[in-house]
């Protein structure tokens, strides 16, 4: 129901003068890799790294000029891997009206393999150091920080175990269709917008028929 994410800051020997940095995505390992027949995920650039972002992770005594120098030589990266379907993962509402999330992380080996691939790429360039950055939301994002909520309306053929049928119609209502990310069996390893659009088109064509 949420991606496996990590943020990485790589320090280069060259000054990074780019203002708008989020321009590169790498899907070479999206389906598999030379050492894995299973999908690993997606790599993309983060936005421009700033001094204040680094300060959140630095020791309190770190001089500002050090943070400034690091930011001027930093390139931020974000990696995303899929979390696999788990029938025990769910969002519930308690008797007192509170949201309760039951979620167990999985597929973390693929995520670590992808992180290793990124570090290998960086090591072969002029990036001599890289580290996790909590400032960009660390890998385990809490419920309050989830950007791509999916999987909250499970779909399937059996009304006893799913909310929607295979065409995203509610089992119990003839005229109710859910075409956002709720039907996803998992989060995938990329932003879900295009998949949501494609499915909405599929459902609309079904309705026309």
pLDDT digits (tens, 9 = 90+) for 90-132: 888 999 999 888 888 899 999 999 999 999 998 888 787 887 7
Nearest-angstrom CA–CA distance, 64 and 198 = 47
Nearest-angstrom CA–CA distance, 8 and 86 = 28
Closest C-alpha among 36, 38, 34, 70 to residue 54: 70
Q: Residue 101, SS3? A: strand
pLDDT score, position 137: 42
Nearest-angstrom CA–CA distance, 209 and 195 = 21
Burial class (CB in 10 A: 0-12, 13-18, 19+), 90: middle
> How far does CA 27 lie from the centroid of its chain?
14
Nearest-angstrom CA–CA distance, 73 and 6 = 20
pLDDT, tens digit, 9 for 90 and up, residues 73-89: 999 999 999 988 888 88
Provide the edge-to-edge strand list for the sheet that holds 42-45: 25-26, 42-45, 74-81, 4-12, 127-132
pLDDT, tens digit, 9 for 90 and up, residues 1-50: 778 888 889 998 889 999 888 889 999 999 999 999 999 999 999 889 88
**In the block, residue with structure tokens 């899907």:** 27
Give this prediction's pTM: 0.83
Percent of the chain beyond pLDDT 70? 93
Q: Tell me the β-bridge partners of 79.
A: 6, 43
Task: Name the token pair of 24.
Answer: 């590169």
Greater pLDDT, 195 or 138: 195
> How far does CA 130 lie from the centroid of its chain?
20
Per-residue pLDDT band for 146 (boundaries 50, 70, 90) equals low
Q: Residue 168, SS3? A: coil
**In the block, residue with structure tokens 């993309």:** 44
pLDDT score, position 163: 93
């Amino acid at each position: 129901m949420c991606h496996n994410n990590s943020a990485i800051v790589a320090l280069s020997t060259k000054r990074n003068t780019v203002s708008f940095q989020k321009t590169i995505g790498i899907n070479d390992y999206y389906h598999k890799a030379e050492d894995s027949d299973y999908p690993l995920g997606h790599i993309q650039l983060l936005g421009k790294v700033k001094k204040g972002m680094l300060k959140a992770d630095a020791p309190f005594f770190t001089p500002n000029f050090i943070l400034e120098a690091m930011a001027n030589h930093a390139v931020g990266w974000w990696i995303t891997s899929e979390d696999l379907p788990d029938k025990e993962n769910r969002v519930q509402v308690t008797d007192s009206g509170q949201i309760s999330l039951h979620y167990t992380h999985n597929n973390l080996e693929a995520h670590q393999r992808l992180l290793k691939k990124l570090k290998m790429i960086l090591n072969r360039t002029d990036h001599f150091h890289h580290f996790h950055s909590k400032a960009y939301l660390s890998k385990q994002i809490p419920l309050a920080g989830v950007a791509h909520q999916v999987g909250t309306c499970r779909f399937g053929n059996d009304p006893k175990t799913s909310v929607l049928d295979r065409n995203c119609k509610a089992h119990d209502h003839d005229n109710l269709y859910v075409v956002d990310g709720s039907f996803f069996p998992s989060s995938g390893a990329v932003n879900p917008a295009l998949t949501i659009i494609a499915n909405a088109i599929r459902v609309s064509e079904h309705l026309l028929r």
